[in-house]
Each structure stands twice: as structure tokens, then as C-alpha cells.
Amino acid sequence: MKGESRTPYVLMGIGVTSMLAFGVTGAIIFNQRKRQASFDYLLKVIKDNNPSDAPYSGKGSPFDRSLYIGNPSGAKISAIEAKTMAEKIYKADGYFTNDKTAIESVFKNVSNKYDISAIANAFYQEYNKTDLYAYLKKMLNDSDMNTYVLSYTKNLN
């Protein structure tokens, strides 16, 4: 009879121990996810402020839409052509693959940085206030970005 009276206490001890173990494990996992989210946020901030993108994404760059707004006569393409080219870039983003030749055809045919600025302005106006350079960076990896976009835009006046 002595063994029978201990059974409920042993089971209750095992239950309490299990609950504590699950609670501690849950707290550790939650804390790890929270720290990872903070770390990911810091990496995003560092990447967004990457100085290697500064010549292309900063003020006065070809992708700065305020260039076109300040001097619309500097662009050699019309507003309608800029809108068409912006649409071509937007539609190049596919579910499984991106149409890199469409993107390349847009940047191959621009003649100055005001043309790119006009396209960036049209893109911003048409597609939910989205920045063209950020959209391209999201869609293309660094190698493709250099090949299909920056190789055509880096020497423009």
C-alpha cells in the first residue's frame, strides 16, 4: 500500500517538471527568434545604407526621379515612352524567372541620365510609389544588376 500512495505525487512531479521544461524551452525559442529578428533588421539597415549603391541610388544619380522633375527637358524620351519603358520593367518580374532581356533593352536604349530619371519617375507614379532602383535590386542579383542595368547607366551624362 505504501507504493500506491506515492504514485499521484510522482505523476504530479513529472507533470510539473514537464511543464517547466516546456515553458523554459518556449521562452528560449521565443527569445532566439526575437534576437534573430533584431539581427535581420540590423542587416537590412546596413544593406540599405551600403555605400556601393550610393552612386546609383542617391541624390543626383540617374535613378533619382527628382532629376527629371527638376529638368524635364533634359530627357530625350517623352513621358509616354518613359511610362512604356517603366511598364516593360515592371512586367519583367516573373513568378519563376525574370525577363532580363526586357530589362536590358530598356537600359540599352537610354541616352542620358535624365532618361533614366524619367523612367524612374514614371515607375514611381504608376506602381504604388515604388522606387525603380529598389525594385530592380529586389528582382536581380548583383551580377545581373551589373550586367543588365549598371553597365549601361554608369557612364551616362
Residue pLDDT, tens place only, 65-102: 888 888 888 889 888 999 999 999 999 888 788 888 89
Task: Let me know: does 118 contact 77? Beta carbons within 8 Å.
Answer: yes
pTM: 0.63
| Residue 57 and residue 39 in one domain | no
The span from the CA of 2 to the CA of 142, in Å, is: 74
Residue among 123, 124, 113 at smallest CA distance from 76: 113
| Residue 148 and residue 86 in one domain | yes
| Residue 62 and residue 131 in one domain | yes
Q: What is the tally of structural domains in the chain?
A: 2
pLDDT at position 137 over 70: yes
Note down the domain range covering 116: 53-153
Task: Let me know: does 150 contact 80? Beta carbons within 8 Å.
Answer: no
| Residue 30 and residue 88 in one domain | no
Return all residues near 152 (Cβ < 8 A) that are at least 6 apart.
104, 107, 108, 110
| Residue 130 and residue 66 in one domain | yes
Task: Let me know: does 113 contact 60? Beta carbons within 8 Å.
Answer: no
| Residue 41 and residue 68 in one domain | no
Cell of 100: 532580363
The span from the CA of 27 to the CA of 22, in Å, is: 9
Task: Let me know: does 106 contact 85? Beta carbons within 8 Å.
Answer: yes
The span from the CA of 148 to the CA of 107, in Å, is: 7
User: What average pLDDT does the segment 105-109 reach?
Assistant: 89
Taking phi first (over 0 means left), then psi (-120 to 50 degrees means alpha), and beta for anything else, what does residue 129 get? left
Tell me, what DSSP letter sits at residue 157? -
Q: CA geometry: angle at 66 spanning 72 and 144, to 5°?
A: 100
Which range, of 26-30, 62-66, 117-121, 147-151, averages the lowest pLDDT? 26-30
At residue 56, the pLDDT reads 59
